Amino acid sequence: MRVLLVEDSRTVRSYVEAILRDAGDIELLPSAIDGATGVALAIERRPDVILMDLELPVLDGIGAIREIMAAAPCPIVVLSGQLEEPARDRTFESFQAGAADVLAKPRGLGDEEIERFGERLLRVVRVMRGARVLRRGVASFRRSLTPMPARLADVVLIGASTGGPLVVRRILEGIPAPYPLPIVICQHIVPGFEHGFAAWLEATGHRVTVVGPGDKVQAGIVHVARADRQLALRGRELLLLPREEGRPAPSADVLFESASAWFGARCVALLLTGMGEDGKRGMLALRQKGALTVTQTAQTCVIDGMPAAARAAGASQRDLSPAEMCELLREVVGAPASARKPA
């Protein structure tokens, strides 16, 4: 697997290069120290994966991602260091430009921090080997969905991982704002990026909040799970629970299973692109209670891991593209089919 690093910091570049060189299954291409050189190398060398800083000279990371996705598309992982400055964070703009995932740069250079970062880096790079590069801005309505009677649901649940942020935003862009039902999002995300994610989603016109202690689901609000805790429902109360060994945090399984116990059939659950099997068990519990369970189609996923696992388990009632999910969510609340179609 051929990897291109685009990073102007000599310090960051040196330890990322060292991690990649020590991996026996990765060929590290010559690195670039500015965005324009990164674009040129991507076109010339055709890497399998690109690691991209956003703060770059000559051409910034957002511009470089756009040019690469137009000329030599491949999976791009953003290396972000803006955790403590969410107002300046352009991480989520990178998803609109075409990035597939984000990885936080280590905050320190201690051995333990570097070791943890190295493990995350290699895991993400290897996952990207099987990632699907999708064209941006393509939406279609190819199937006629069977209309649902309005107001048969009390809450909408969304589980997502790799490639999920852009799909979540497109879904919010494609439904009425404010939406008449609460929406709860369980997105696998780097701790510290939740508030930037919420702010980016608010540009769709919805009110978006990161879940805090004592919060309750409310109609017209999009609730985003924290990355360092599990999120569960107890009636309309949102519970922040400790992380669990062997499970991602937040876990779609934890959210879906708790919703099945309290809301039963009165849920709509969407399981979007992502690696692994998180969400499969919880979605099956929801379907067995009569809830409407929907997986994202394989051809529109960056990584068809979570949806594929749910499909194989018989947990998915419908398999829809993001555009069709928007149509479905409008039908659930009786909104006109033409309202806020995604571009």
Task: Give the C-alpha distances (Å, rounded to integers) separating 169 from 14, 175, 200, 329.
Answer: 35, 10, 8, 14
Residue type, 210: V
Short-list 190, 234, 186, 236, CA closest to 210: 186
Which residue among 188, 206, 223, 316 is the active-site one? 188
Q: Which of 128, 229, 137, 132 minimizes the C-alpha distance to 174?
A: 137
The total of other beta-carbon atoms located within 10 Å of residue 251's CB is 24
Give the closest residue to 161 by CA, choosing from 4, 308, 31, 18. Answer: 308
Minimal CA–CA distance to 172: which of 214, 224, 227?
A: 224
CB atoms within 10 A of CB 245: 5
Cβ–Cβ under 8 Å, residues 303 and 273:
yes
Contact predicate 219/181, CB 8 Å: yes
Task: Tell me the one-letter amino acid at 151.
Answer: R
Contact 301, 163 (CB under 8 A): yes
Buried b / exposed e along 49-81 (16+ C-beta atoms within 10 A): bbbbbbbbeebebbbbbbbbbeebebbbbbbbb
Which position among 89, 154, 253, 278 bears the catalytic label? 278
278 is catalytic: yes
Determine whether 223 is an active site residue: no
> Is 188 among the catalytic positions?
yes
Q: Is the peptide bond before 250 cis (omega within 30 degrees of 0)?
A: yes
| Given the residues 31, 80, 94, 161, the one annotated as active site | 161
Q: How far apart are CA 63 and CA 69, in angstroms?
A: 10
Please give the positions annotated as active site: 161, 188, 278
